[in-house]
Amino acid sequence: MSSAPKSSRDLLDFIAQSPTPFHATQNLVVMFETAGFEHLSEGDDWQCQAGRGYIATRNDSSIIAFKLADDVSKGIRMVGAHTDSPCLKIKPNPDCQNNAYNQLGVQVYGGVLLHTWFDRDLSIAGRVSGIDKKGELFSQLIDFKEAVAVVPSLAIHLNRGANEKSTVNAQTQMPLILSQGDPRDFKELLLDYCDDNAARILDFELACYDHQSPSFVGLNQEFISASRLDNLLSSYIGAQALIESSTDTPSLTNMYVSTDHEEVGSSSACGAQGPFLKSVLERISSSSTQVTQIIDRSTLISCDNAHGIHPNYADKHDQNHGPLLNQGPVIKINANQRYASNSVSSARFQQLCENAGVPIQQFVTRADMGCGSTIGPITAAEIGIETLDIGVPQWAMHSIRETAGSQDVEYLLTALKAYFSQA
């Protein structure tokens, strides 16, 4: 059996520890701080110096990291990703009881492939807020870290047409089964997973996640199987690329951006359509004129996974644009600007990959099908920066369990390190 690249093994460890955008951001902060980056608060004065690395976070779920060059006005090389993934989120008043079973109502976050959530060992994680034993407000991250819920399928004997139709009603068929006979309400139960100072839970932002650990699949570990590959794969590899490229003062300022809420349109204070990135650019610049000059001289690689050709559904791809797993990152192109790539940004990346020995592919959706989007067009429209949309190919996007190529992780890391290290 062949061994998968170290970057793939490290990625799986990161995903296993990052069940929500809050946890992913927390782990990214640790990565950067371990590498010597200084954590800045948006509410403080910033005194940034050339050659130093810095990070800022917003809402505990979005992060920007940067390594300053001697002259920021020469431009910035940016890599963008997102920390969120489609999932089931717990409703604010979730408790319901049916036939002696204690259940939790859920909301669907993003474009979830709902049927994949049935019959899985589910856990719960996220952020809770409340009052501590001193009577003060607190917020903290929690993770149940054990399988505590399930959404069982209906037996085929009671649903003979199950294999002919797969309609799922999220309101009536997706409530979690949490326990049998436990009288506590959910907020009371949450105290078991908070620190000892917590007295009462007032509110929470909690999501379900697949308790099964990420793993390698294939006779030669060709594939990685995990939840949230879209888009923790790009979030982790983008951060790792910046860290590994940051030993010296860069010729241009390097920046990494990973924001929340991409799966629901990015329109939030911490999303790509919000003011977070623009605010950081203004704070490391000397004037509004310089911000405009920086943007004109900068580039952004928007990094979000692509649709690899599925051998059982090959007709869902354009015959000349069906990316294969383990054959390199994919340049994503759409004439209607669902992706922000153009011929200039594409050519730059193709030359970079050729010099780095990284194979590349292209994806264009069928002309008779719609197309998803990314933070690329949103950031390009909000900031005005030259943007390229890329990503590694994967199967089963928005499933509870997705599949990508283990070698593509290494290809992407190599390409992004080359991007950050350009003269």
pLDDT band, residue 370 (cuts 50/70/90): confident
pTM to 2 decimal places: 0.96
Q: Are 21 and 205 in contact (CB under 8 A)?
A: no
Residues of the chain with CATH 3.40.630.10: 6-85+227-420
Token pair listed for 111 = 């474009």
Q: Using an 8 Å Cβ cutoff, are 322 and 361 in contact?
A: no
Return residue ranges of the chain for CATH 2.30.250.10: 87-210
Q: Which residues contact 234 (CB under 8 A, 6 or more apart)?
A: 81, 82, 303, 304, 305, 391, 392, 412
Question: pLDDT value at position 248?
Answer: 81
Phi, psi of 322 (to 5 degrees): -110, 95
> Residue range 272-289: average pLDDT?
95
- Phi, psi for 88 (deg, rounded to 5): -105, 125
Cα gap 416→316, rounded to integer Å: 29
Identify which of 363, 370, 366 has the alpha carbon closest to the alpha carbon of residue 315.
366
Placement of tokens 């990346």 in the chain: 349
145 band by pLDDT with thresholds 50, 70 and 90: very high
User: Looking at this protein, which amino acid is placed at residue 44?
Assistant: D
For 216, which DSSP code?
E
- Locate 245 and state its tokens: 């490229």
Is the confidence at residue 20, as pLDDT, over 60?
Answer: yes
Residue 342: phi and psi, rounded to 5, are -130, 180
pLDDT value at position 181? 82
E-strand spans in 247-371?
A: 253-259, 299-303, 306-307, 330-332, 361-363
Distances (CA, A) of 86 to 1, 63, 108, 265, 355: 33, 19, 8, 12, 36
**pLDDT-based confidence at 153, cuts 50/70/90?**
very high
Please report the pLDDT score of residue 1 as a whole number: 52
Quote the CA–CA distance of 270 and 262 in Å, as a whole number. Answer: 10
**Right CATH number for 87-210 from 3.30.70.580, 2.30.250.10, 2.10.109.10, 3.40.50.300?**
2.30.250.10
Pairing state between β 38-40 and 53-58? parallel
Q: Which helix (H) or strand (E) holds 345?
A: helix 343-356
- Please compute the mean of the pLDDT values over residues 311-327 and round it to a whole number: 95
Q: Which fold has domain 6-85+227-420?
A: Aminopeptidase (3.40.630)
